Structure 1
Amino acid sequence: MKTPRNALKACWDLPVDPEAVGKARGLARETLAAWDMSAVAENVTMVVSELVSNAILHGKAPITLALFQYGRAVWGEVTDHSAGWPNPVPAGPDEEHGRGLAIVTAYADRWGVVPASEGRPADGKTVWFVCAEWRSR
C-alpha cells in the first residue's frame, strides 16, 4: 500500500538499541499532539512500541519510523533491512515473547508488510499500520 499524497509526515532513523523503543514512543506522542491527533495516541504508541521492538530484536539496521497524518487517521511505517518478515507465533501464558503482533492486530485498524524497496525482499521490509480516530479506544 502507498502512503497518501499530501499527508503530513514525520520520519526518524532509530538506533538498534532497546532505548530506541522509548524514544520512538515519545516522538510519536509529540508528533500526534502537534497534529491534534491525541485520540489515537494510545493506539499508535502501542503499535510503534511493538514494531520498533521487533525491528530491534529481529531486524537489521538501519531502522526507520515514519508517521503520516491524513484526515483523522495515522499511517505508520517501521522499516528495517533484514530479509526476515514478521511471523505471528502463539504465546503461552508463561512466555516472555510472542504477543507483539497480536498487540499490533488489537490496536491497529489494519497492518501489513511490504518489501522495503523496489520489491526486493533482501533489501528489507516495511511493516505498516493504520490507526483511525473513529476506532480509537
Structure 2
Amino acid sequence: MKTPQNALEACWDLPADPEAVGKARGLAREVLAAWDMSSVEKNVTMVVSELVSNAILHGKAPITLALYMYGRVVRGEVTDHSAGWPNPVPAGPEEEHGRGLAIVTAYADRWGVVPASEGKPADGKIVWFVCAEWRSR
C-alpha cells in the first residue's frame, strides 16, 4: 500500500523487548496529540499494543512502528523480519494468548499483511491497520 504524498508521518525502531509495547503506546499517544487526532487514540493504541506484542512474541527484530495521518485517518504499520504471517487462532476462556488479532479486528476499521519487500517474503512483513476519526466518535 502506498501512503498518500500529503500524509504526516512518524516512525520508530523498537527493541524486541516486552517493555517496547508500553513505549509504543506512549509514542502513538504523543504523535496523535500533536496531530490533533486524540479522537482515535484509544483505537490506535489498542491496535499498536497488540501488533507490537505479536511482533515481539512471534516476529523477528528489527521491529518498526510507523504512523501516518492523511485527512482524518490514521494508518499504522508494524514491520518485523520474520517470514511467518499472523494466523488468528481461537482462544478459550482460560487461554492466556490468542485474542490479539480479534482485538485488532475490533478496534481497526481494517487491517492486513503485506511483504516488507515486494517479492521477498523472507525479508519480513508489514501488518498495517487503519483507524478513521468518524468511526471513533
**What TM-score results when the alignment is normalised by the length of structure 2?**
0.98
Residue 60 of structure 1 aligns with an amino acid whose one-letter code is K
Q: Which runs of 5 or more residues in structure 2 are unaligned?
A: none
Partner residue, 2:30? 30
Give the distance between the partners of 1:4 and 1:59, measured in 2 at CA: 27
Residue 3 of structure 1, CA deviation: 1.8
Residue 105 of structure 1 aligns with an amino acid whose one-letter code is T
Partner residue, 1:11? 11
Partner residue, 1:126? 126
Residue 5 of structure 1, CA deviation: 1.8
Residue 119 of structure 1, CA deviation: 2.5
Give the distance between the partners of 1:19 and 1:136, measured in 2 at CA: 27
Give the distance between the partners of 1:131 and 1:119, measured in 2 at CA: 28
Partner residue, 1:87? 87
Give the distance between the partners of 1:51 and 1:40, measured in 2 at CA: 16
For residues 63-87 of structure 1, the C-alpha deviation after alignment (integer angstroms, 9 at most, x for no partner) is 0000000000100000000000000
Give the distance between the partners of 1:2 and 1:44, measured in 2 at CA: 19
Give the distance between the partners of 1:54 and 1:71, measured in 2 at CA: 28
Give the distance between the partners of 2:117 and 2:125, measured in 1 at CA: 8
**Percent same amino acid among aligned pairs?**
90
Residue 101 of structure 1, CA deviation: 0.2
Give the distance between the partners of 1:53 and 1:91, measured in 2 at CA: 17
Give the 5 Å matches for 1:68-87.
Answer: 68-87=68-87
Give the distance between the partners of 2:46 and 2:70, measured in 1 at CA: 19
Runs of 4+ in 1 over 3 A off after TM superposition: none
Q: How many residues align?
A: 137
